[in-house]
Structure 1
Amino acid sequence: MIQEVLVYPNKLLRESSKDVLHFDEHLHSLLHDMYETMVAKEGIGLAAVQIGVLLNVLIINLVDEEGCQKIENLYEIINPVILEKDGSTIYQEGCLSVPGYYDEIERAEHIKVSYYDRNGNRCEEEFTDLMAIAVQHEMDHLKGRLFIEKLSYLKRKKFDKEWKKKQKAGK
């Protein structure tokens, strides 16, 4: 079922998520809802906290060369931990919880991550390029952080002013 995506400055987005302890039907249902929501909102990643669930669960499904998101390319990443990171890259990021805003963010270019799949199997994988960026972005959500917190002081001040104006106009 498609869920509502929480939008900044919703206070729940600032909360830290907890590890998944039970790899059961409840988790599988959450993963299904997250996938439907992400695709419906035209995102490439989603953290459970963005739909109001404080669990260390994220999904990522990058768009392929034809511009499609195929379910066989879906990553379901549960209780992730970055084991290694190196390099540096800058990418223009956006976020379903900060709709319509994009800015350049610096992140590690290469990461090695330990995580569990939907069935509780431990996985370890290395990610580079956009996949590494997306994993780091979604893992920030699990810690209660948004990409706008990585903006320089001046860019953040400008963002806050424009965002407040946008929020007032929308009400």
Structure 2
Amino acid sequence: MATLDIKKYPDEVLKNKAELVNDLSGDLQKLIDDMIETMYNFNGVGLAAPQVGVLKRLIVIDTSARQENQSLIVLINPEIINSEGEILSEEGCLSLPGFITRLKRNERVFVKGLDRKGNPVEIEATGLLARALQHEIDHLDGILIIDRISPLKRELFRRKYLKTKK
């Protein structure tokens, strides 16, 4: 296993839509293992393949440190099939280090996809897991948390962030 480089804003790969995974071969299994190690090494609760430069519909999530009765989740080709309610909460992102904002997300989500062996999986989630699923699936569609804030806040963030990168 290896720790992968996390792509940071404004890397273009983060704005692209990921492709469906059709091959569950050894290359994908190695990517899954590397993504899990990377997520843990950076103390994240989730990681999407585009965040490590791979435009595939693959996410890993582990909210167990902050939410009871949870464990590591690997989802291939995940999609939200239904959602309910609304909740406002703080959110950060490994691709936007140091940036935290309050975002509205659905309170409950129903997600389907495949596990790492290709078996169908359905997840009903609330709390942090629901937020993490929505966040990581956003990455698969080229959406960052800054795309979900007001244009004024986004412009202030962009100026401040890019100024610190110079």
TM-score (normalizing by structure 1)? 0.92
Tell me the residue number matched to 1:164.
162
Q: Which deviations, in whole Å up to 9, do the C-alpha atoms of 1:127-156 show, x marking residues without a partner? A: 111100000000000001101111112211
Q: Name which of structure 1's ranges 29-38 and 157-166 shifts more when overlaid on structure 2.
A: 157-166
Tell me the residue number matched to 1:9.
10
Task: State the distance in 2 between where 1:25 and 1:160 align.
Answer: 39
Which consecutive aligned stretches of 4+ in structure 1 deviate over 4 angstroms post-superposition?
A: none
Q: Name which of structure 1's ranges 20-29 and 112-121 shifts more when overlaid on structure 2.
A: 20-29
Tell me the residue number matched to 1:148.
146
Does the 8 Å contact 1:24/1:119 carry over to 2? no
TM alignment of 1:59-70, pairs within 5 A: 59-64=60-65
Please tell me the residue identity of whatever aligns with 1:56: R
1:57 matched to 2:58:
yes
SS in 1 for 2:97: strand
SS in 1 for 2:103: strand
Matching residue within 133, 136, 144 for 1:135: 133
Q: Name which of structure 1's ranges 99-108 and 20-29 shifts more when overlaid on structure 2.
A: 20-29
Identity %: 39
Tell me the residue number matched to 2:107.
109
TM-score (normalizing by structure 2)? 0.94
Superposition RMSD in Å: 1.3
Q: Which 5+ residue runs of structure 1 have no aligned equivalent?
A: none
SS in 2 for 1:9: coil
Structure 2 CA distance for partners of 1:93 and 1:74, relative to 1, 3 Å: same
Q: Which deviations, in whole Å up to 9, do the C-alpha atoms of 1:52-107 show, x marking residues without a partner? A: 11100000011436x9xxxx810001101111001001111110100010000111
Following TM superposition, by how much is the alpha carbon of 1:17 offset from its aligned partner in structure 2, in angstroms?
Answer: 0.4
Does the 8 Å contact 2:64/2:72 carry over to 1? no
Tell me the residue number matched to 1:48.
49
Q: Which 5+ residue runs of structure 2 have no aligned equivalent?
A: none
